């Protein structure tokens, strides 16, 4: 007879791992991961920052609610974020600052002199910025390992090289077929499959929501003069680049969002070149060498908010997907929200309503 679990979670990236940990032994949990090791896809490829404005006002409650837990557990380090703008963008700067100040995010508008003091070599033309002092770097690998260890401690089982290939609804749950052989049974099926979320829904007979994987490129470069350690995360208000220092190097992205099938994403040369060209529009530093390049898939629902909750039509099928570019910085609050819904507990720090899958009906 197939082994039976209360909850099977498909995907052991940040989403699946954090949820398995949040369930905390209150259910018999199986975590299924297609790859030989968890964290190989989006989770292992992030830019590793926590910024309350990133992802927009609809995501901010999850980011803010995650902050104190991440800080208290030692996963954050000071960084600061500077969203820079050109002459002519004054109204957009004011609106950006006002939008997040109204939500309780600490923001400060800086003039050219104050920006140049924080970003040496800033080219002329960048005249204003919104500074977020509370932005932090996140130790993503340590956070993911923490969740996996907590899940293990709570007696959740992690099966790697265990791709879900079939899911059949039964009277009291699901019968799952795995690519590596065994069948298992579970009561609730959680879709935490990142870029594969729609494909996993289709496997289970649930209607796909239209979660689209978009490729994002990162490069690690050596610049002269060397990137100062205290440089903030610098983002372009027009969303054409961001960069931050990392151990004497610079991590840089052209802020690309290229539609992609769900796959093992790889960077394209044109995106690497675009990233460097855009950096050179912002600062007068010399790019000496591209040391590393990588790409990952950020997966978005049509309204770019995450999708957390039971499917309104397909019984016992739970969405934990669409974490876009904010799935690390929101992980603690999102996992708490999802665990409460799965266990039928009352709402926690964040209202689940805006994230309910029923909004796509
Ligand atoms: C370049 C880049 C920069 C980013 N920067 C940041 C940042 O600074 N801050 C931030 O908060 N977020 C950032 N993100 C976003 C963040 O990385 C993601 O939101 C987060 O990692 C999503 O986690 P996940 O577990 O949903 O997805 P994944 O990590 O992709 O995990 C999904 C897992 O599901 C598995 N899976 C799929 N199908 C099956 C199946 N059928 N059976 C079993 N397993 C399956 C996959 O193998 C995969 O391991 C960034 C992302 C990228 C790409």
218 lines ligand 1 (CB under 6 A): yes
Cβ–Cβ under 8 Å, residues 306 and 334 = yes
The reported pLDDT for the residue numbered 181 is: 82
* Of 37, 66, 32, 35, the residue nearest 49 (C-alpha): 66
Q: Nearest 5°: phi and psi at 278?
A: -70, -35
The closest-lying atom of ligand 1 relative to the alpha carbon of residue 330 is 11
Cβ–Cβ under 8 Å, residues 172 and 186 = no
327 lines ligand 1 (CB under 6 A): yes
163 lines ligand 1 (CB under 6 A): yes
The reported pLDDT for the residue numbered 2 is: 80
The reported pLDDT for the residue numbered 1 is: 66
In the numeric block, the tokens 């770019």 are attached to 304
Rounded distance between C-alpha atoms, residue 2 and residue 166, angstroms: 14
Q: Token pair for residue 32? A: 């299924």
DSSP assigned state of 283: B
Helix (H, G, I), strand (E, B) or coil at 101: helix
Is the full-model pTM beyond 0.85?
A: yes
Residue whose CA is at the smallest distance from ligand 1 atom 37: 193
Q: In what order do the strands lie in the sheet with 49-50?
A: 49-50, 136-138, 76-78
47 lines ligand 1 (CB under 6 A): yes
Q: Measure 193 CA to ligand 1 centroid, in angstroms.
A: 8
The reported pLDDT for the residue numbered 358 is: 97
Rounded distance between C-alpha atoms, residue 130 and residue 133, angstroms: 10
Q: Measure 43 CA to ligand 1 centroid, in angstroms.
A: 4
The closest-lying atom of ligand 1 relative to the alpha carbon of residue 320 is 26
Express the helix, strand and coil content of the chain in percent, nearest 5 each: 30, 30, 40
Residue whose CA is at the smallest distance from ligand 1 atom 25: 13
119 lines ligand 1 (CB under 6 A): no
Residue whose CA is at the smallest distance from ligand 1 atom 31: 13
CA 283 to chain centroid, in Å, comes to 28
Cβ–Cβ under 8 Å, residues 326 and 60 = no
The closest-lying atom of ligand 1 relative to the alpha carbon of residue 329 is 11
The closest-lying atom of ligand 1 relative to the alpha carbon of residue 195 is 30
Using CA atoms, how far residue 26 sits from 22, 103, 242, in Å, is 9, 34, 41
Tell me the three-class secondary structure of 343-358, residue by residue. HCCCCCCCCCHHHCHH
Helix (H, G, I), strand (E, B) or coil at 91: helix
What is the pLDDT tens value at each position of the chain, 361 positions in all? 689 999 999 999 999 999 999 999 999 999 999 999 999 999 999 999 999 999 999 999 999 999 999 999 999 999 999 999 999 999 999 999 999 999 999 999 999 999 999 999 999 999 999 999 999 999 999 999 999 999 999 999 999 999 999 999 999 999 999 998 889 999 999 999 999 999 999 999 999 999 999 999 999 999 999 989 999 999 999 999 999 999 999 999 999 999 999 999 999 999 999 999 999 999 999 999 999 999 999 999 999 999 999 999 999 999 999 999 999 999 999 999 999 999 999 989 999 999 999 999 8
45 lines ligand 1 (CB under 6 A): yes
* Of 218, 205, 280, 278, the residue nearest 246 (C-alpha): 218
Q: Which of 298, 305, 320 to mutate to test the pocket of ligand 1 (most atoms within 8 A of CB)?
A: 298
15 lines ligand 1 (CB under 6 A): yes
CA 326 to chain centroid, in Å, comes to 3
Q: Token pair for residue 137? A: 């770097």
Cis peptide before 225 (omega within 30 of 0): yes
62 lines ligand 1 (CB under 6 A): no
Long-range pairs for 174-177 at CB < 8 Å and ≥24 separation?
174/8, 174/204, 174/316, 175/2, 176/8, 176/32
* Of 223, 216, 244, 215, the residue nearest 290 (C-alpha): 223
Q: Token pair for residue 325? A: 């570019």
323 lines ligand 1 (CB under 6 A): yes
Residue whose CA is at the smallest distance from ligand 1 atom 21: 43
């Amino acid at each position: 007879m197939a082994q039976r679990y209360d909850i099977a979670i498909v995907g052991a990236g940040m989403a699946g791992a954090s949820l398995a940990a949040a369930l905390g032994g209150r259910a018999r949990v199986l975590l299924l991961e297609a790859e030989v090791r968890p964290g190989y896809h989006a989770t292992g490829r992030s830019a590793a920052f926590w910024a309350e404005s990133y992802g927009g006002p609809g995501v901010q409650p999850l980011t803010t609610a995650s902050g104190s837990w991440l800080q208290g557990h030692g996963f954050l380090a000071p960084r600061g974020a500077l969203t820079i703008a050109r002459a002519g963008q004054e109204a957009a700067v004011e609106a950006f600052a006002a939008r997040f100040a109204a939500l309780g995010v600490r923001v400060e508008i800086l003039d050219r002199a104050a920006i140049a003091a924080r970003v040496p070599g800033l080219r002329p033309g960048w005249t204003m910025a919104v500074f977020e002092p509370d932005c932090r770097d996140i130790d993503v690998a340590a956070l993911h390992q923490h969740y996996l260890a907590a899940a293990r401690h709570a007696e959740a089982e992690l099966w790697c090289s265990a791709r879900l290939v079939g899911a059949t609804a039964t009277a009291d749950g699901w019968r799952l077929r795995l690519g590596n052989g065994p069948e298992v049974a579970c009561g609730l099926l959680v879709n935490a499959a990142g870029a594969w979320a729609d494909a996993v829904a289709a496997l289970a007979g649930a209607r796909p929501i239209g979660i689209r994987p978009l490729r994002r490129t990162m490069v690690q470069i050596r610049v002269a003069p060397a990137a100062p350690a205290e440089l903030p995360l610098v983002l372009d208000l027009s969303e054409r680049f961001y960069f931050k220092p990392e151990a004497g190097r610079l991590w840089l992205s052209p802020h690309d969002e290229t539609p992609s099938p769900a796959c093992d994403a790889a960077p394209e040369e044109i995106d690497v070149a675009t990233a460097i060209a855009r950096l050179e529009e912002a600062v007068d530093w010399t790019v000496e060498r591209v040391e590393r390049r990588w790409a990952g898939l950020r997966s978005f629902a049509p309204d770019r908010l995450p999708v957390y909750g039971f499917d309104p039509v397909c019984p016992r099928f739970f969405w934990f997907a669409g974490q876009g570019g904010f799935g690390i910085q929101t992980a603690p609050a999102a996992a708490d929200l999802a665990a409460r819904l799965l266990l039928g507990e009352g709402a926690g720090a964040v209202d689940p309503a805006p994230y309910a899958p029923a909004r796509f009906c």
